[in-house]
Amino acid sequence: MYIQVTTRCNMQCKHCKFACSPKRGKDMPLDVFGFAADIGLAEDEYITIGGGEPTLHPDLIFMLGYVALLGGVDHRPFMVTNGAVEERLWNVLVHAHEAEMLDLHVSRDPWHDEEKIPPYVWNYANAHKLWWGNKGVRTIEKAGRARRHIDELEQEVADYGYDRVNVIGLQECGPRVDPDGFVWADVPKKFGGGKIGPIGASAFDDARCAISEAENEGVHSNPHPSPRP
């Protein structure tokens, strides 16, 4: 469930579908947020807190704490900030993230005003790969999921044989087996998408090799190889 807690923002990005800006906007009342969060958690939904720039909401910490307390680690709130955050608040968010009470990310795309991102945000986001919108980081995340899936797939084939393994449902990446007994690896397509060989040890090795190349590509495609001073 996406809950837009504010339409205020300290940036004015041309691509913003909500037309948020520093000149206008309003905040969601705390009781309305609590009502919405209760519904989402009761339906086993993951709560995404957005805006506008969510860190501008005066009750943000209460909102994050409420979801974290009721949802626990498995349903901790997800939030993306543009990074133009006051240092004391940023430190609170980082502590919550490190304590697994918050899944925190920083927007990273060509439209946001990078000059407004202070060094303490910039350095931490670089060090902990918190950039949201960074192609390299997303590639690494996809490769990590694919690696877990292929380990599970190999074990399933070892237990049951490929003739009893159906297509494993994956969302956007990862290896799978088709009815003809071929292994697929889709992380990304240029690193092995499509059939890469008959099922067997060599096919799994090829898939892992493709995944490793994708991970390396992710590391090297980081558009910010060094943090700001």
Domains held by the chain: number: 2
Same domain, 18 and 108: yes
Q: Shortest CA distance to 122 belongs to which of 50, 51, 226? A: 226
CA distances from 100 to 71, 72, 93, 165, 177 (A): 12, 9, 11, 35, 34
141-184 pLDDT per residue, tens: 566 666 666 777 677 667 766 555 443 333 334 455 555 555 55
- At 155 the pLDDT is 73
Q: Average the pLDDT over 185-207 and give the result.
A: 54
Given 3-state DSSP classes, what are the helix, strand and coil percentages for the chain, each rounded to the nearest 5? Answer: 45, 15, 40
Regarding whether 104 and 10 lie in a shared domain, the answer is yes
Which amino acid appears at position 216 of this protein? N
Task: Give me the mean pLDDT over the 108-114 stretch.
Answer: 71
Q: Is residue 192 part of a domain?
A: yes
Q: Is residue 222 a contact partner of residue 136, using CB atoms and an 8 Å limit?
A: yes
Are the CB atoms for 33 and 41 separated by under 8 Å?
no
How far is it, in rounded angstroms, from Cα 35 to Cα 178? 45
Same domain, 118 and 143: no
Question: Which pLDDT band holds residue 227 (cuts at 50, 70, 90)?
Answer: very low
Please tell me whether residues 81 and 189 are part of one structural domain. Answer: no
Same domain as 155, residue 118: no
Residue 102 has pLDDT above 50, yes or no: yes
First to last CA, the chain: 37
Label residue 200 by pLDDT band (50, 70, 90).
Answer: low
Among the candidates 132, 163, 198, a domain finishes at: 132
Instruction: Express each pLDDT in 54-77 by its tens digit.
Output: 999 999 999 999 999 999 888 899
Structural domain contains residue 39: yes
pTM here is 0.60
Q: What is the pLDDT of residue 216?
A: 66
pLDDT at 72: 87
Greater confidence (3 vs 189) lies with 3
What is the pLDDT averaged over residues 41-58?
93
Amino acid residing at 85: V
pLDDT at 193: 46
103 domain-assigned = yes
Q: Are residues 118 and 149 in the same domain?
A: no
Domain boundary residue, one of 114, 132, 150: 132
Same domain, 29 and 106: yes
Q: Kindly indicate the confidence band of residue 127, based on its pLDDT and cuts at 50, 70 and 90.
A: confident
Evaluate whether residue 227 is within a structural domain: no
Query: Do residues 219 and 194 touch, judged by C-beta distance below 8 A?
Result: no
The answer to whether residue 72 is domain-embedded is yes
What confidence score (pLDDT) does residue 97 get?
94
Shared-domain flag, residues 66 and 117: yes
Domain of residue 213, residue span: 137-220
Question: How far is residue 129's CA from residue 127's CA, in Å, rounded to a whole number?
Answer: 6
Using the 8-state DSSP alphabet, how is residue 115 labeled?
G
Is residue 136 very low, low, confident or very high in pLDDT (cuts 50, 70, 90)? low
Q: Same domain, yes or no, for 112 and 148? A: no
Tens digits of residue pLDDT in 25-43: 999 999 999 999 999 999 9
Looking at 132, 160, 175, the residue that finishes a domain is 132
9/104 same-domain check: yes
Task: Specify the length of the chain in residues.
Answer: 229
Nearest to 61 by CA among 38, 91, 39, 16: 91
Q: In the chain, what percentage of residues exceed pLDDT 90? A: 38
Domain-embedded: residue 153: yes
pLDDT in tens, 3-27: 999 999 998 887 777 888 888 899 9
Domain harbouring 83, CATH code? 3.20.20.70
- Note whether 161 and 94 are same-domain residues: no
79 and 178 in a single domain? The answer is no
